[in-house]
A and B are shown apart, each in its own frame.
Chain A
Amino acid sequence: EDQVTQSPEALRLQEGESSSLNCSYTVSGLRGLFWYRQDPGKGPEFLFTLYSAGEEKEKERLKATLTKKESFLHITAPKPEDSATYLCAVQAEGWGSQKLVFGQGTRLTINP
């Protein structure tokens, strides 16, 4: 069964304090790994898709990386507006397999 585990569950940082969020996954064959941001009471907002080990993508203060077993979301010099829950999800290979399997998320709080 496809599974995604994120750590830590919650993380508090001071503004400007860089850190990384972890997403470990087991999947029969990886078609894509997705990172989303979710604000309280809102729907997930797409950040990145990664497809193969060694791939990296960046957006502002965020950088996502992928290995064969895990992905990291690196946050450099975060600001209070980066506070949110960050979700990781995987899509498995296979004809007609469209669903995303989500992790439980990491709740990130950036204190000013």
Chain B
Amino acid sequence: EPEVTQTPSHQVTQMGQEVILRCVPISNHLYFYWYRQILGQKVEFLVSFYNNEISEKSEIFDDQFSVERPDGSNFTLKIRSTKLEDSAMYFCASSQRDWGDRELFFGEGSRLTVL
């Protein structure tokens, strides 16, 4: 069964450092997303990406965050200067469409710990 893969599974970084989280969405999917889940809290939407541009973003997704699809398979989330409050599990997701019976496939997540 096709799946969304994420790397790294866990990253520890110092405050102020740049972090890049990587995702390989399912190959025939067109819509890509990042969500995050702070420990013990709700899953929160960060950003959606379609046709090589951001289609929607949340208030959390400020200038410190950026996304990129550098080639035909990878989808990345960059945090320019990490803060303690960026510690969370980050989930990449993809879907074939944004309407109808839209099944959103999530990856296993990348746990980011900022010290």
Which A residues have a C-beta under 8 Å from some C-beta of B? 31-32, 34, 36, 41-46, 49, 87, 89, 91, 96-105
Contact = CB atoms under 8 A, between A and B. Distances in A.
A97 to B, nearest CB: 7
10 contacts: A43-B4, A43-B106, A44-B91, A45-B106, A46-B104, A49-B103, A99-B33, A99-B58, A100-B43, A105-B42
B45 A43 contact: no
B102 A49 contact: yes
Contacts of A34: 104
B48 A102 contact: no
A98 to B, nearest CB: 5
Contacts of A98: 31, 33, 48, 55-56, 98
B73 to A, nearest CB: 19
A43 B108 contact: yes
Contacts, number: 54
B101 interface: yes
Interface in B82-99: 91, 93, 98-99
B98 A87 contact: no
Interface string B26-56: 0000010101000001111100100000011
Contacts of A42: 108-109
A46 B103 contact: yes
Contacts of A32: 102
